[in-house]
Amino acid sequence: MGDVVQQFFAVKAKIAAAEHEAGRQAGAVTLVAVSKTFDAADISPVIEAGQRVFGENRVQEAQGKWPDLKDAFPDIELHLIGPLQSNKAKEAVALFDVIETIDREKIAAELAKEIARQGRAPRLYVQVNTGSEPQKAGIEPREAVAFVARCRDVHGLAIEGLMCIPPADENPGPHFALLEKLAHEAGVARLSMGMSGDYETAIAFGATSVRVGSAIFGSR
Ligand SMILES: *Cc1c(COP(=O)(O)O)cnc(C)c1O
């Protein structure tokens, strides 16, 4: 077994242990394997090992490798986890099954237009900038609940969850707790939180999906 496949199984085992530890149901947490910067040859062994849910942070990079992989494995579910520019909404709706990074009115409007035009409806998350970091994407926490409501009422978008990336240099726990509270207030069920360094913590705070890259594929 190659290193990457071994690391993949190790992450799966740690997720199962963290679910158990947190009193969560087995299988409650979806692993989104983050394959950005890795090519089809690196990704294929993980698909062969049974993984079907993947995350990419750039539309253009994903367009270069995923159409062929999705043809070969039609049950693959591809998540966009990076910032979305409104001029890429068309490509994003065409390729991704889940878009996790809605964070402003203009993107919501563009996505609604493309979903109607293409007749293809990816599942949608709102990204929250839980640390209010100026350089980071995501809606401000105090605006998140109203924004989810506007996505639904103004743009007709069904938001299924919230996503966050806590500040790199802080204890992530309070950020995960904040995201959980906001999701509850907004009436959405799913929480995308936790990366290679903190996914077990995120599971304890109620993550329904974790986005793990380097712990599976190695450093970028
Ligand atoms: C790259 C990335 C990840 C994965 O990060 P690792 O630390 O490699 O697990 C998760 N979420 C987002 C939004 C990313 O861009």
Q: Express each pLDDT in 89-118 by its tens digit.
A: 999 999 999 999 999 999 999 999 999 999
pLDDT digit string (tens) for 140-172?
A: 999 999 999 999 999 999 999 999 999 999 999
3-state secondary structure of 101: strand
Atom nearest to 195 CA in ligand 1 = 9
* Ligand 1 in reach of 82 Cβ (< 6 A): yes
Please check whether residue 150 is in contact with residue 105, taking contact to mean a CB–CB distance below 8 angstroms.
yes
Per DSSP bridges, beta strands 159-164 and 209-212 are: unpaired
β-bridge partners, 31:
210
Q: Note the pLDDT of residue 164.
A: 98
User: Residue 53 burial (CB < 10 Å; 0-12/13-18/19+)?
Assistant: middle
Per-residue confidence (pLDDT) for residue 2, from 0 to 100: 80
Residue from 184, 220, 155 nearest 208 by CA: 184
Kindly state if the Cβ of 65 falls inside 6 Å of ligand 1: no
- Closest by CA to 12, choosing from 24, 25, 26, is 26
128, containing H or E segment? strand 123-128
Q: How many angstroms is it from 192 CA to the middle of ligand 1?
A: 11
Please give the model's pTM, rounded to 2 decimal places: 0.98
Phi then psi dihedrals of residue 196, to 5 deg? -50, -40
HSE (side-chain half, CA atoms, 13 Å) at 202: 28
Ligand 1 neighbourhood includes 172 CB (under 6 angstroms): no
Q: What is the DSSP string of 44-91?
A: HHHHHTT--EEEES-HHHHHHHHHHHHHH-TT-EEEE-S---GGGHHH
